[in-house]
Structure 1
Amino acid sequence: MVREIHRQFIEKIEGFKIVGMASNGIEGLQLIKDSKPDLAIIDIYMPHKNGLEMLRGLRAECLFLDVIAITAASDIETVHMVLQQGAVDYIIKPFTFDRIKKSLEKYKLYRLKLKGKKELLQHELDQLLFMNGVEEKESDLLPKGLNVNTLVKITAFISHEKSPVSAEEVAERIGIARVTARRYLDYLEKEGKVKIHVQYGGVGRPVNRYGI
């Protein structure tokens, strides 16, 4: 029942897809080996192999996926050990939908900022390291007026297109104004997430098109 509630919560958050659910730590470890997800959400109190043992098993086998713990375990020792094993967040039951949504939205932004990068500057790393603070506002992570959901939608749209797209095409696909689309595209180009391809030909000014 708890797994089903978690599934319903997660499927309401855009950008996430459930690839499988496990009833215990042994099943969970095998499921991760088979499906290779980007992110695993684990409990601590699981039969056969608890969440901490499962997490240690993941690290021992060099399965470097990201992990969020959602659990009733609130003692300092457990929290500390789970975070030591590299969990990106720790949510204590009972929790609200808004709490898990905030966690997953920040995770999306974290992955977006890492995409396509081979190295990080210090200020970029600082931003990633401190973005998990629950009091931090989304506006602190993006330029004023930009929204993480829209940013993810635009990035996903461009990455799935076979050829570069214009700001007008992005605006039409996402449902935003062209000037707004251009602001997001300028930000993505500045961050190195997209590249500009100038299209010449015909009458008028050249058209900037954007691709991954």
Structure 2
Amino acid sequence: MTSTKVLLIEDDPMVREVNRQFIERVEGFTVIDMSGNGVDGISKIKALKPDLVLMDIFMPEQDGIETLRKIRNENLPVDVIAVTAANDIQTIQKILHLGVYDYIMKPFTFERMQQTLKNFDRFKRMTNSVNDVTQKELDEMIHHFREGEAPLDTSLEDIVDLPKGFNRTTLEKVLNYIKQTKNGASADDVASNIGVARVTARRYLDFLEKQKLIKVDVHYGGIGRPINHYYI
């Protein structure tokens, strides 16, 4: 499989190196060069023709916003992910209006970078494999879902460290059961179907919810306490 060529545009040498190491830990991505400002970055985009640019916003000589404008005005065929400490909504809106694939705020974890790159890889593979698409196929490309199925990123592969006392096999059983339910399931439903105690099911469900792999909704019935229902 062809590796995705990445150009890093970041003025801080230490951050640049951390970003490079993060990117190259993700299978299928290679950093082909690095730049310390937007002026040099534009030149390298034209010369090296990367598939993807990871770019800071606050940089000397030419900041990320102006660099993005030039990339778009000159119709340079490259995708851009903003990696920046900028967290004010005006700056965020400007960057999003200029068509970045994603926006990662500093400081960030390897897992956050990894998820973005995996999503980008999935998106490019899907768009490169077709000429025309249906609405359903376009939804899958943009929003990562298929009708009646779980989102494509609801997997445990990125969860390395589990809480003390947790078992990965049990966690997989809980997640797979929730994936199969159309209207959600309670902790009692999960417990009876996979053969664990209710309190155990609730611990695993709460963990999955904190990992943003499932969602929780409170159902109010008749007499008695409300019941949490978990779903994809």
Picking from 92, 97, 102, the partner of 2:115 is 102
Q: 1:90 aligns with which of 103, 111, 118?
A: 103
| 1:121-140 deviations in Å (ceiling 9; x for gaps) | 111111222239xxxxx952
Deviations 1:64-120 (A, max 9, x none): 211100000011011111111110100000101100000001101101111231111
Given candidates 52, 69, 73, the residue that maps to 2:86 is 73
What's the offset of the Cα at 1:14?
Answer: 0.3
CA distance in 1: counterparts of 2:133 and 2:112, whole angstroms: 29
For 1:8, the aligned partner's letter is: Q
Q: Which of residues 129, 152, 164 in structure 2 aligns to 1:141?
A: 152
Per-residue CA deviation, residues 34-91 of structure 1 (Å, 9 max, x unaligned), is: 1111110000011100001000000010102111000000110111111111101000
Give the whole-Å Cα distance in 1 for the aligned partners of 2:90 and 2:141: 25
Find the residue that maps to 1:54 and give its secondary structure.
helix
Matched, 1:120 2:133: yes
1:48 has 2:61 as partner = yes
- The runs of 5 or more residues in structure 1 that have no matched partner are 133-137, 148-212
Instruction: Give secondary structure in 2 for the equivalent of 1:120.
Output: coil
**Amino-acid identity (%):** 44
The aligned amino acid for 1:88 is Y
Q: Does 1:20 align with 2:33?
A: yes
SS of 2:113's equivalent in the other structure is helix
Aligned mates of 1:83, 1:128 — CA distance in 2: 18
Residue 53 of structure 1: SS of its match in structure 2? helix
Map of 1:169 onto structure 2: none
8 Å Cα contact 2:37-2:60 kept in structure 1? yes
Instruction: Name the CA distance, whole Å, in 1 between partners of 2:89 and 2:113.
Output: 21
Q: Match of 1:201?
A: none
CA displacement, residues 133-192 of structure 1 (integer Å, 9 cap, x when unaligned): xxxxx95238x99x8xxxxxxxxxxxxxxxxxxxxxxxxxxxxxxxxxxxxxxxxxxxxx
Match of 1:5 in 2: 18
Q: Distance in 2 between matches of 1:122 and 1:94?
A: 36
What is the match of residue 37 of structure 1? 50
Q: Distance in 2 between matches of 1:129 and 1:98?
A: 20
> Separation in 1 of the partners of 2:139 and 2:31?
30
Runs of 4+ with >3 A deviation: none
One-letter amino acid matched to 2:20: R
Q: Which has the higher helix share?
A: 1
CA contact (8 A) 2:123 2:142 kept: no
TM-score by length of 2: 0.57
Q: How many residues align?
A: 140
Q: For residues 55 and 5 of structure 1, what CA distance do their matches in structure 2 show?
A: 22
Q: CA RMSD in A?
A: 2.1
State which structure, 1 or 2, has the greater radius of gyration over its C-alpha atoms: 2
Tell me the equivalent position of 2:73.
Answer: 60
Distance, in Å, in 2 between the alignment partners of 1:10 and 1:17 is: 7
Aligned twin of 1:155: none
